[in-house]
Structure 1
Amino acid sequence: MSMRAKIKAFFGPARQYVVAGASNNPSKFGFKILSWYINHDLSVIPVNPKENTILDQPVVSKIEDIISAMKFKQDLKGYSTSKVDGVSISFLTQPRITVRTLQEIATVEGFKDVVKGLWFQPGSYDEEVIKQAEKIGLYDRVIYEDECILVRGEEGLYSANL
């Protein structure tokens, strides 16, 4: 699948978006990308184990809690995760944390039915991250190669008719 097709598939009208590595620091991309989702009126959950709220959004500490809630059609922390068709995750974590997060995602039964897209922002991945995505069977849903949602996100929204 081409990168363009993967970017289109990342977006959907009933999708839940997640920012792994969301930040309260306006100079960090975890803040800028969370802002991008909010500014486009997309349902987005910030993930950060050290924060309670970011940009007035309730924070979830672990992605696997989100995937599990979606799998069992439950809402989580005020988010309507029971009504979505899947999750697309933007990663802004260091590569070693991205690898660990992918390993944790793979522990949730049925995760492949829930995870629709993985966008590895520049700096969040290395060869080990890509190998881990392949190992858990999600490589066909990975966007990387220095693609940034702040640059290509508009195109993805447009191509998905959002």
Structure 2
Amino acid sequence: MSLTKTKIRSFFGEKRLYAVAGASNNPSKFGYKILNWYIKHNIPVIPINPKESVILDQPVIHNVSSVIQAIENHKKLGNYNTAEVDGLSISFLTPPHVTVATLKEIGEIEGYKNVIKGLWFQPGSYDQDVLDLAKKLGEYDKVIEEDECILVRGEEGLLSANL
């Protein structure tokens, strides 16, 4: 099995929670399409956007760090059951400089390595600085990139994870 296929399979999990960093209310944007993909597959997902309050009828959380801390502390986060999950997989749809800022924020949270199970950098959300920071944080083995899109490869990941 290729390394990318292995990473895609491990991105998904039966007790996993997912976040879409860069979720959008604009149906023409991938932040909307990918959030909708999770919802249509009945996958527990949290939209992350600092400026919105609801996207696709889902309450929005303003930053990823709130989700990670809730999971780490086994606490509920608003309407989201973050207490009973095995970790968080994040789809990034933000510009590279925002992805870097989010990764730096994650790196400041004690216990983030226990919570983060996958980082899917959608096309356009990463550059070499993003990949270098993921390596520095010790998370590169959980990164899916190389122009891989969850809309194309997500079904394969769900099947290989038996979900």
The bucket for the TM-score relative to the shorter chain is over 0.9
SS of 2:19 mapped into structure 1: strand
Report the identity percentage.
Answer: 62
Matched, 1:160 2:161: yes
Residue equivalent to 2:67: 66
> What is the aligned length?
162
* CA distance in structure 2 between the aligned counterparts of 1:21 and 1:29, rounded to whole angstroms: 9
SS of 1:81 mapped into structure 2: coil
SS of 1:61 mapped into structure 2: coil
Computed over aligned residues only, the root mean square deviation of the Cα atoms, in angstroms, reads 0.6
Unaligned segments of structure 2, at least 5 residues: none
Residue equivalent to 1:147: 148
Which amino acid is 1:75 matched to?
Answer: K
SS of 1:83 mapped into structure 2: coil
* Correspondence 1:4-153 to 2 at 5 A: 4-153=5-154
* CA distance in structure 2 between the aligned counterparts of 1:20 and 1:146, rounded to whole angstroms: 17
State the 1:133 CA deviation. 0.2
Unaligned segments of structure 1, at least 5 residues: none
* CA distance in structure 2 between the aligned counterparts of 1:77 and 1:31, rounded to whole angstroms: 21
State the 1:77 CA deviation. 1.3
Deviations 1:88-132 (CA, angstroms, capped at 9, x unpaired):
000000000000000000111000000000000000000000000
* CA distance in structure 2 between the aligned counterparts of 1:141 and 1:7, rounded to whole angstroms: 9
Normalising by structure 2, report the TM-score.
0.99
SS of 2:118 mapped into structure 1: strand
Q: Return structure 1 stretches of 4+ with deviation > 3 angstroms.
A: none
Which amino acid is 1:125 matched to?
Answer: Y
* CA distance in structure 2 between the aligned counterparts of 1:111 and 1:67, rounded to whole angstroms: 7
Which amino acid is 2:28 matched to?
Answer: S
State the 1:151 CA deviation. 0.1
